[in-house]
Amino acid sequence: MAASMSDVFSFCVGVAGRARVAVEVRFVSSAKGKGLFATQLIRKGETIFVERPLVAAQFLWNALYRYRACDHCLRALEKAEENAQRLTGKPGQVLPHPELCSVRKDLHQNCPHCQVMYCSAECQLAAAEQYHQVLCPGPSQDDPLHPLNKLQEAWRSVHYPPETASIMLMARMVATVKQAKDKDRWIRLFSQFCNKTANEEEEIVHKLLGDKFKGQLELLRRLFTEALYEEALSQWFTPDGFRSLFALVGTNGQGIGTSSLSQWVHACDALELKPQDREQLDAFIDQLYKDIEAATGEFLNCEGSGLFVLQSCCNHSCVPNAETSFPENNFLLHVTALEDIKPGEEICISYLDCCQRERSRHSRHKILRENYLFVCSCPKCLAEADEPNVTSEEEEDEEEEEGEPEDAELGDEMTDV
């Protein structure tokens, strides 16, 4: 039951100066599945498409630790100065050029029943029309015995930071179908995402939940069923179907990162200043990030994940010709060309961050196998095929110090906001 291309492209929100999205989805091979290809010349630096997710959700620990984001589009809700004060642990922290902060608190709205916050009336309405009528706990928002709260607490008890997925992404998938007038259309859209074998699905679930994943998965399935059962999706609530749903989210969930402070920094970078003033401002920002690192570590952004139909068709390459980012400080994903892309050429992004792409072929393959269950055969990997299948001593030392990468897909895009 495949979704039509008009269904798929309906989630692209437009590209300036182009009447239509200049891409098409094609079958590549049994190993790679689908791929995304250019239908016209795309110039370096050009935005190929902008896509909104079918569903998105903030990570649960991220929300619990007061990273305040719109419950629908994940736009950061704190003013840049408030964000800096919380991240540095300095209540008196003041930012110069406060007028550059893009957060509009006067537009913020909350659900009148459960009080979750939205960045605008538009997001509140969009959430209500798509899934929130089903998921709104009303006055039971803080009741630990509410079925959804029991589900979220169980998830937090088995999936700790750094987070890579959220059970609420799955909950919003179910709620979307429950609320939809055309349930079949949404089921078709969710079916677009790649499927794995039973063994591959178990590997993904093991990666997300750890060694005791079978018992934890069954507990989550039981709580998920109690909170959200829907007859039209009965297969999703069986042991095999729930494992498949879990694997779908684990494989296809695209990391989303938003930050009002990052937006303020970008705006500062664009200021035209005298050399001395520029030097002072850059020094201030450098020190600010040092203070944040000392107080908060690497967790700077409001973080979550979403399911993007078109972006999920982009295959990986260690030498990508496109990249993803979230420059609008919300869940709208931009795919931008890193070089000229000719008509008929496949559009590839990298599932690895910049540092990972510079590592040896063996190390890159290890990360990709563990996180995405495939072996890369991009031009760079083929050119390095004669390299020894060992990790360099330097990289082994680095792995021992840093630990295994928990979530390769949250690399560049989580900070490029």
23-29 and 33-38 strand pairing: antiparallel
Average pLDDT, integer, range 331-340: 96
Residue 203 confidence (pLDDT) above 70: yes
Contact yes or no for 332/119 (Cβ under 8 A): no
Contact yes or no for 314/348 (Cβ under 8 A): yes
The larger pLDDT score, comparing residue 198 to residue 46, is at: 46
Q: Among candidates 412, 409, 396, 400, which has minimal Cα distance to 368?
A: 409
Count CB neighbours of 358 within 10 A: 11
- How much is the pLDDT for 167? 96
Q: The tokens 């239509």 sit on which residue?
A: 20
Q: The tokens 């007061």 sit on which residue?
A: 66
For 24, the 3-state DSSP assignment is: strand
Residue 176 confidence (pLDDT) above 90: yes
Contact yes or no for 163/303 (Cβ under 8 A): yes
CA distance 312 to 417: 19
Q: Among candidates 363, 354, 374, which has minimal Cα distance to 398?
A: 363
For 356, the 3-state DSSP assignment is: helix
Q: Among candidates 130, 66, 90, which has minimal Cα distance to 291?
A: 90
302-307 and 55-58 strand pairing: antiparallel
Q: 294-334: per-residue pLDDT in tens?
A: 999 888 999 999 999 999 999 999 999 999 999 999 999 99
- Average pLDDT, rounded, for the chain: 88
Instruction: Find the range with the poorest average confidence among 58-62, 207-211, 349-353.
Output: 207-211
The larger pLDDT score, comparing residue 412 to residue 358, is at: 358
Q: 15-40: per-residue pLDDT in tens?
A: 544 445 789 999 988 777 889 999 99
Q: Cβ contacts of residue 247 below 8 Å, gap of 6+? A: 196, 200, 201, 204, 205
Residue 135 confidence (pLDDT) above 60: yes
CA distance 294 to 89: 10
- How much is the pLDDT for 17? 46
Q: Cα–chain-centroid distance for residue 279?
A: 34
Percent residues over pLDDT 90 in the chain:
71
Instruction: Find the range with the poorest average confidence among 150-154, 370-374, 382-386.
Output: 370-374
For 316, the 3-state DSSP assignment is: strand
DSSP string of 209-278?
H-TTHHHHHHHHHHHHHHHH--GGGGGGGSHHHHHHHHHHHHHHPEEEEE-HHHHHHHHHHT----HHHH
- How much is the pLDDT for 3? 60
Average pLDDT, integer, range 2-27: 67
Q: Which residues are paired to 34 by β-bridges?
A: 27
Binning pLDDT at 50, 70 and 90, where does residue 409 land? very low
Contact yes or no for 257/415 (Cβ under 8 A): yes
Q: 95-117: per-residue pLDDT in tens?
A: 999 999 999 999 999 999 999 99
Average pLDDT, integer, range 352-358: 88
Residue 393 confidence (pLDDT) above 90: no
Which amino acid would we find at residue 113? H
DSSP string of 61-119?
HHHHTT--B-TTT--B-S-HHHHHHHHHT-TT---S-GGG----GGG-EE-TTT--EES
CA distance 235 to 401: 43
Domains of the chain: 12-53+308-386 (2.170.270.10), 55-255 (no CATH)
- How much is the pLDDT for 328? 93
Binning pLDDT at 50, 70 and 90, where does residue 260 land? very high
Residue 88 confidence (pLDDT) above 50: yes
Count CB neighbours of 32 within 10 A: 14
CA distance 63 to 287: 26
- How much is the pLDDT for 395? 52
**Backbone φ, ψ for residue 360 (5° rounding):** -65, 160
Instruction: Find the range with the poorest average confidence among 198-207, 370-379, 399-408.
Output: 399-408
Residue 269 confidence (pLDDT) above 90: yes
CA distance 232 to 174: 10
- How much is the pLDDT for 15? 57
Q: What would the two tokens of residue 110 be? A: 């909350």
